[in-house]
């Protein structure tokens, strides 16, 4: 067995003392046995896909990268592509985003009935909550819609978020980089170490004062009010836990980043800020769960910068016109290209014995396949990342029996080390390690 050396080993001789450089032998003996931190991210693209330009040709390891997937070629070995998966709830645009992380088999029936299921990002957030300052991060690129019906006479909530805290509680997703920054680092103005430390001390002083006053107040209240005060005290203790975690992580050196003033008017500038904030949150272990929508369902955003001046949503109803489908595919490819740039940053960020990408599972795709018919068959989905050794990429898996998207969510929970009995309308886990025909 190789000898283990202390970190401050010195060589003495000839009247001189020299410190050895850092050697592998100075690593803790059990370091290799330490499990890497796992992280999950959803990366959602709206309005379906030009399936002719997405669907991989070939199965198993012998698949060809299609025009939409080509920008992701550098990550082929960490891509697990799926064909044949059916949407859990296929009801135009509401069911697309509404079931993407929930696997719910149904939603509401009118604009005031809001029903889905707990989304897997929230299940995972609760699982990791004691380890990070934020249980999860919910980010999008679009302003939320006004209240009322947005699609199929159903609530706008189904379009505005992927994330559900409970079957009746959709979570808002933040589109403003300024408020995302404040959520992560407070209003200190930058990621500078001194500014973060000063903010922590200020928050600690406030909480110390609040905790003392709560104890005095409780003695003066009746039983019912004491119960309410206990619930409030639990929330205070959660803030205290987050501050404690922040103090433990306060020495982490972060890339310099000033607090954004707001959302830049140019889409790519806005997106770059949002992706950088996600990267910062993951690399500093502020959270291990991120959900992101590059646009929401029914997004009318045009893309003249890539030669597609038409609004995205109307273009997605292309009546299967080959020319319009080709234009649609340019948007899909551009989204994949932007995603590829984000993956490059994840791969370039060291994390333990690998990179952030090595230790992540990213669910990428849409909740609709052929957008012209709002089809929920054969969803364009893939998992990207190493999954901390639990995900075998470089393959295209085809399922002939149309398994539910909810079954894939079950598998993700299993691969993340937090198996559950059910997600939405799931009927079991989706087999991704081996298939008889692969």
| pLDDT > 70? residue 238 | no
pLDDT at 10: 44
Which residues lie closer than 8 Å to 208 by C-beta, 6 or more apart? Answer: none
The better pLDDT of the pair 199, 363 is held by 363
pLDDT at 102: 98
Nearest 10 degrees: CA dihedral of 20, 250, 271, 341?
Answer: 20
| pLDDT > 50? residue 108 | yes
Question: What are the tens digits of pLDDT across the range 313-364?
Answer: 999 999 999 999 999 999 999 999 999 999 999 999 999 899 999 999 999 9
Which stretches within 249-294 are classed as H helix?
267-283
Looking at the domain covering 36-182+258-415, what would its CATH class be? alpha beta
Across 222-226, 227-231, 359-363, 429-433, least confident range: 227-231
Q: Locate tokens 């973060």: which residue? A: 196
pLDDT at 425: 97
Tell whether the torsion through CA atoms of 292, 120, 89 and 67 is positive or negative.
positive
E strand or H helix at 150: strand 149-151
Query: Which letter does DSSP use for residue 377 in this model?
Result: S
Mean pLDDT of the chain: 84
Question: What are the domain boundaries of the chain?
Answer: 36-182+258-415, 192-253
The two three-digit tokens of residue 274, written as one number: 């949002």
Max mean pLDDT among 30-44, 140-154, 217-231, 387-401 falls in: 387-401
| pLDDT > 70? residue 145 | yes
pLDDT at 357: 98
E strand or H helix at 383: strand 381-384
Residues 375 and 369 sit within 8 Å (Cβ to Cβ): yes
Residues 308 and 302 sit within 8 Å (Cβ to Cβ): yes
Question: What are the tens digits of pLDDT across the range 250-282?
Answer: 555 566 667 777 788 999 999 999 999 999 899
Which pTM does this prediction carry? 0.81
The better pLDDT of the pair 189, 176 is held by 176
């Amino acid at each position: 067995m190789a000898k283990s050396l202390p970190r401050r080993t010195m060589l003495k001789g000839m009247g001189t003392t020299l410190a050895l450089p850092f050697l592998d032998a100075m690593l803790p003996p059990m370091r290799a046995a330490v499990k890497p931190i796992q992280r999950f991210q959803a990366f959602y693209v709206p309005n379906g896909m030009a399936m002719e330009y997405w669907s991989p040709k070939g199965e198993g390891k012998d698949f060809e990268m299609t025009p939409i997937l080509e920008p992701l070629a550098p990550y082929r070995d960490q891509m697990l592509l799926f064909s044949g998966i059916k949407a859990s709830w296929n009801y135009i645009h509401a069911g697309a985003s509404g079931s993407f992380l929930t696997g719910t088999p149904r939603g509401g029936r009118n604009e005031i009935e809001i029903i889905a299921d707990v989304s897997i990002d929230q299940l995972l957030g609760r699982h990791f909550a004691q380890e990070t300052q934020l249980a999860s991060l919910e980010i999008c690129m679009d302003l939320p819609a006004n209240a009322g019906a947005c699609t199929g006479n159903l609530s706008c909530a189904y379009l505005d978020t992927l994330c559900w805290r409970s079957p009746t509680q959709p979570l808002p997703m933040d589109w403003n980089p300024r408020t995302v920054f404040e959520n992560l680092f407070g209003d200190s103005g930058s990621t500078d170490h001194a500014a973060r430390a000063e903010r922590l001390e200020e928050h600690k002083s406030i909480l110390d004062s609040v905790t003392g006053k709560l104890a005095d107040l409780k003695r003066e209240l009746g039983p019912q009010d004491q119960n309410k005060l206990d619930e409030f005290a639990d929330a205070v203790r959660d803030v205290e836990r987050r501050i404690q975690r922040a103090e433990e992580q306060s020495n982490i050196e972060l890339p310099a980043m000033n607090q954004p003033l707001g959302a830049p008017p140019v889409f790519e500038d806005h997106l770059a800020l949002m992706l950088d904030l996600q990267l910062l949150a993951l690399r500093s272990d502020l959270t291990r769960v991120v959900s992101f929508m590059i646009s929401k369902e029914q997004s009318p955003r045009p893309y003249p910068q890539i030669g597609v001046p038409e609004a995205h949503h109307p273009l997605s109803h292309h009546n299967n016109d080959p020319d319009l489908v080709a234009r649609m595919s340019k948007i899909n490819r551009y989204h994949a290209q932007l995603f590829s740039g984000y993956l490059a940053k994840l791969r370039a960020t060291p994390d333990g014995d690998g990179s952030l990408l090595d230790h992540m599972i990213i669910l990428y795709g849409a909740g609709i396949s052929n957008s012209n018919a709002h089809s929920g068959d054969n969803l364009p989905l893939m998992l990207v990342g190493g999954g901390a050794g639990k995900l075998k990429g470089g393959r295209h898996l085809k399922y002939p029996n149309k398994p539910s998207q909810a079954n894939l969510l079950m598998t993700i929970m299993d691969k993340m080390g937090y198996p559950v009995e059910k997600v939405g309308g799931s009927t079991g886990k989706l087999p991704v390690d081996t298939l008889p025909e692969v």
